[in-house]
Amino acid sequence: MDKKRKLVLFIASSLDGYIATNDESLEWLYRVEGEGDNGFSEFYNTVDTIIMGKKTYDWILNQDLKEFPYKNKDCYVFTRSSAENNENVKFINGDITDFINNLKAQDGKNIWIVGGGQLLHSFIQRGLVDEFILTIAPTLIGNGIPLFRKGEYQLELSLKRMRNFNQFVELHYEYKK
C-alpha cells in the first residue's frame, strides 16, 4: 500500500459528551433509534487493527458475548501490568508513541481505537490520532465517563464529513497536523 495507515477513533457519545454512565452502562445509547448499524460495518471494513486499553478489554469480556468481537483483526491491548497474550489479543506495555508509529508505518488498513478514557487521552496528548469519527446520540445523561478528559492539549480538526443515521449524527474530523 502506498498510503500511510491512520489511527482512527470511532465512537458514540451522548450530546453532552459522555460515552457511558458512571456504572459503565450503554443502555441510554440502545434506546436511540438509528438506521441499520449506523455506519459500523462500513467503518469496520476500513480497519485491520484494533487497539484498546485494559479497562475496555475487561469490559468487553464481561459483556456475556458468545465470542470475542474482533477475532478477524489484529488486536492489541495496552496495559501497565503484565498479561499473557492469547488467541485474540496481544498485550502491550511499552512506549505507546513508538508502538503506534511502528503500526502506522506497516502496510495495511487503518487502526481503530476502541473505547475512550485514559488511553485515548494519552494518544491525543501525543498527537497520534489522525481522525475522529463521533456518532452523537440525542441524549443528555448529565454525568458519566467523558469522551475527552481535561488536559494540556489543543488540537485543530477539519470536518471531512457529516451525515445522519435517523436520530444519530456522525461527525468525521481529521486532525490538522
| pLDDT tens, residue by residue, 10-59 | 999 999 999 999 998 999 999 999 999 999 999 999 999 999 999 999 99
Q: Starting at the edge strand that comes first in sequence, how are the strands of the sheet with 168-175 ordered?
A: 90-92, 74-78, 47-53, 110-113, 7-14, 131-137, 168-175, 157-165
From CA 14, how far away is CA 130, in angstroms rounded? 22
Residue 147 has pLDDT above 80, yes or no: yes
pLDDT at 47: 98
51's grid cell: 487497539
| Global confidence as pTM | 0.93
Average confidence (pLDDT) over 4-8: 95
| pLDDT given at position 64 | 85
pLDDT above 90 coverage of the chain, percent: 81
**C-alpha 164: how far from chain center:** 19
Percentage, residues of the chain above pLDDT 70: 99
Residue 35 is predicted with a pLDDT of 92
The answer to whether 34 and 166 have CB atoms below 8 angstroms apart is: yes
Q: How far apart are CA 123 and CA 127, in angstroms?
A: 6
For residue 1, the model assigns a pLDDT of 42
